[in-house]
Structures are given as C-alpha cells and as structure tokens.
C-alpha cells in the first residue's frame, strides 16, 4: 500500500498488533473484577505497541490479518471508510491464529433470549430499539465467543451484566452528544449506547485488530454505519491525531474496565471537549478510586470526580459511574522543561538564601 492511495491509506491501522487470547476472560467481565480492570495487562493481549510499522489512518475498516487491504465495500477514494454504506458487503469472517486455542471445543452458542425477569428493564432502556439490542446480544454470544472476545460463560448473562448495565448509562449523556468510547473491546459500552440512543454519534476506540474487526462487522450488521465509526488505535493516538486523522474530541468519553482512574483520566481527558465529561463505568471500587486518584485527575485538568448511580429503579444493582468534567486544558508535561524549572528553582532558592 502506498500513502498516495487514499482509500487504502484510510482503512489500514497501525500494524504490530499481536494476536492472542482475549483480555475478556471467561467469568471475569465484571468491571469491578481486578482481573478485568486493565486491558493493558497480559503480554499476549496488549494493545498495539510501537512496532516500527508505518502508521496509516486508524479509522480501520480492515480485518486482522491482511490489515493493509481496503475494507470490502469501501468506496474508492473514501476518506473515512468507517462510515460504511449500509448496503456494503460484510467482510469474510476473520480467523486469527491463537483465537481458537482458548476453546478446545467450538463453543455452543448460548441462549441469549431476553430473560423474562429483565424484559421490563430492557424495554425501558432500549424502547423500540430492543430488537437491535437482541441482534447485538446474539452477535456477542456467537461471533463474540467464537473469536474469544467474550468468555463462553458470559454469554448467558449478556443482558444482565453487559447490555442493561451499559444501556443504563445513557441517562448521563445529553441529547445529540458526540461520544467516544475508549477501549470498546466487543462494543461495551459504546455500541450499546449507540443502539439505545439513535441521537448519539459514537466512535469506538480500540487498539486490538481482532476487536476492531468484530466491531466493524457488528456496526455493519446492525445497520449503524451512519452513527458509529471505529477507530483502531489507543486513546492517546486518537487524542493526538496524525497526518491522516485530526485529533478526536467528544462531548462525552466513556470507558468500562479499561484502567484505573488516574490512567483513564490521562488517556481520556485529552479526548473530552472543555466542559465535557469523562463517564467511567466502575464497580464497587468507585469511591476508593476517587480517594486515591483525585489529585492526579486535578493535575490532568479534571474537576472533582463524582459518583452517579444509573438505572435506579430499573436495574438491580444500578450501574455506578465516575464522572469527571474537563475543566482545564493541560498541556503534556515536558520532562526537560520540568527538570529545568526544578533546577532553576533550586538555584533561585539558593540565591534568596544568601
């Protein structure tokens, strides 16, 4: 692929993503579960590392494997193939070495029929988009499990632990907002929010090729190409922008089970428009995380973190989020300048002492 080829350029993400087992481990998709709290951990499933591979536009439409191929159905010369026409052909299923190793037997698709006891909550949260939510549940329980994005034991509780929990957070998002979902994984919470709220414009930010391939196909199959796009890369890359992609900014930046609050704020606040909010889904750890990281959040330009419970009276337990307003735009701390200031400070201090 050459950099003169606009279409090809626009679909290939940065290379070097190692295939490997999913960060979503069977039985550990609770955001409060420490094993699930950091997608960076686990050498085999790291997001992209600097690999020396040329970095093209990360609005990736390309499945893993032949990552440099234009996404099927991409209009020639299209600058942003993530916005696929609904009629576009879905890409061929992606087979990544190592995917199947986790499951000696091909998983039997779980029954993801909406449990009767959750039907009322689901109707409240998804309204007339409930069928779409059911289609996504089906995708998660089939392709999501086969590709190792979600553990087979999670499949039967997709509604309770994943779809309803994420959809409840929609109440914290203003009408017509631009939402960036950092570390979407298999689409949680970003894709769920897009399903529940057709007024939103959502970008799913995810560095791992296997996950972005699934996301792109899910977006296509659910007919959400007009309102959802997929950015393959890290949050830091999305915020910085590149030659091909302007820096991304959103009114609301969401994240679930991606990192502790200090790291999350460092990655996500630069993506938030001033006055906008980071909305981080957290479990029981919310208050503890605030106590530990409020100082770091303030240094990053964030306001006082607040805890909100979402879906009260609809789901039990309600979803817990930490919200941080981006109050100030803080530039990156330059190590050299900081060291110079501190040397200058010491010299000035000595001068005053004399």
**Residues within the annotated binding site?**
183, 188, 235-236, 256
36: contact with ligand SAM by CB under 6 A: yes
Structure tokens at 175: 């009408």
SS (HEC) of the chain: CCCCCHHHHHHCCCCCCCCCCCCCCCCCCCCCCHHHCCCCCCHHHCCCCCCCCCCCCCCCCCCCCCCCCCCCCCCCCCCCCCCCCCCCCCCCCCCCCCCHHHCCCCCCCCCCCCCHHHHHHHHHHHHHHHHHHHHHHHHHHHHHHHCCCCCCCCHHHHHHHHHHHHHHHHHHCCCCCEEEEECCCCCCCHHHHHHHCCCCEEEEEECCHHHHHHHHHHHHHCCCCCCEEEEECCHHHHHHCCCCCCCCCEEEEEEECCCCHHHHHHHHHHHEEEEEEEEEEECCCHHHHHHHHHHHHHHCCECCCEEEEECCCCCCCCEEEEEEEECCCCCCCCHHHHHHHHHHHHHHHHHHHC
Return binding residues for S-adenosyl-L-methionine.
183, 188, 235-236, 256
In this chain, which of 129, 197, 211, 232 binds ligand SAM, going by CB under 6 A?
211
Segment lying near ligand SAM (by CB under 6 A), choices 108-116, 200-208, 271-279, 287-295: 200-208
Q: Of 73 and 270, which has the nearer Cβ to ligand SAM?
A: 270
205: contact with ligand SAM by CB under 6 A: yes
Least distance (Å) between residue 4 CB and ligand SAM: 29
Residues 215-234, mask of contacts with ligand SAM (x by CB under 6 A)? -------------------x
40: contact with ligand SAM by CB under 6 A: yes
Q: Of 256 and 326, which has the nearer Cβ to ligand SAM?
A: 256
61: contact with ligand SAM by CB under 6 A: no
Least distance (Å) between residue 201 CB and ligand SAM: 19
How many beta carbons lie within 10 A of that of residue 264, not counting itself? 26
Name the nearest CA neighbour of 203 among 175, 217, 224, 173. Answer: 224
- 259 Cβ contact list (under 8 Å, min separation 6): 37, 38, 39, 40, 183, 267
List binders of ligand SAM among 165-194 (CB under 6 A).
182-185, 188
141: contact with ligand SAM by CB under 6 A: no
Q: Of 12 and 17, which has the nearer Cβ to ligand SAM?
A: 17
In this chain, which of 23, 192, 315, 321 binds ligand SAM, going by CB under 6 A?
23
Residues 90-129, mask of contacts with ligand SAM (x by CB under 6 A)? ----------------------------------------
Least distance (Å) between residue 86 CB and ligand SAM: 25
39: contact with ligand SAM by CB under 6 A: yes
List binders of ligand SAM among 234-263 (CB under 6 A).
234-236, 256-258
Residues 267-296, mask of contacts with ligand SAM (x by CB under 6 A)? x-----------------------------
Q: Catalog residues that contact ligand SAM under the rule CB under 6 A.
A: 23-24, 36, 39-40, 47, 182-185, 188, 205-208, 211, 234-236, 256-258, 267
């Amino acid at each position: 692929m050459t950099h003169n080829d606009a279409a090809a350029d626009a679909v290939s993400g940065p290379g070097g993503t190692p295939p490997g087992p999913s960060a979503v481990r069977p039985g550990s998709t609770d955001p409060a579960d420490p094993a699930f709290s950091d997608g960076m951990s686990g050498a085999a499933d790291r997001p992209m590392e600097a690999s020396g591979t040329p970095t093209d536009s990360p609005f990736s439409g390309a499945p893993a494997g032949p990552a440099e191929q234009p996404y099927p159905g991409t209009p020639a010369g299209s600058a942003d193939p993530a916005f696929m026409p609904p009629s576009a052909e879905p890409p061929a299923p992606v087979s990544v070495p190592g995917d199947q190793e986790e499951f000696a037997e091909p998983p039997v698709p779980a029954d993801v029929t909406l449990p009767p006891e959750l039907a009322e909550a689901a109707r409240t949260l998804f309204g007339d988009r409930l069928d779409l939510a059911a289609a996504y549940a089906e995708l998660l329980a089939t392709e999501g499990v086969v590709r190792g994005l979600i553990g087979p034991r999670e499949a039967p509780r997709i509604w309770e632990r994943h779809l309803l929990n994420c959809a409840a957070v929609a109440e914290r998002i203003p009408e017509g907002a631009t939402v960036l979902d950092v570390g979407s994984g298999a689409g949680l919470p970003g894709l769920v929010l897009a399903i529940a709220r057709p007024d939103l414009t959502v970008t799913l930010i995810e560095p791992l090729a296997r996950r972005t391939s699934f996301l792109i196909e899910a977006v296509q199959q659910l007919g959400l190409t007009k309102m959802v796009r997929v950015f393959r890369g890290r949050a830091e890359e999305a915020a910085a922008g590149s030659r091909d992609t302007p820096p991304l900014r959103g009114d609301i930046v969401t994240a679930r089970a991606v990192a502790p609050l200090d790291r999350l704020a460092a990655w996500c606040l630069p993506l938030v428009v001033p006055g906008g909010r980071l909305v981080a889904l957290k479990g029981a750890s919310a208050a503890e995380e605030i106590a530990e990281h409020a100082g770091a959040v303030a240094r990053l330009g964030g306001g006082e973190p607040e805890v909100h419970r979402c879906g009260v009276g609809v789901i039990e337990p309600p979803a817990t989020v930490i919200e941080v307003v981006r109050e100030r735009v803080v530039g990156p701390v330059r190590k050299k300048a900081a060291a110079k200031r501190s040397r200058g400070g010491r010299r000035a201090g000595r001068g005053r002492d004399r």
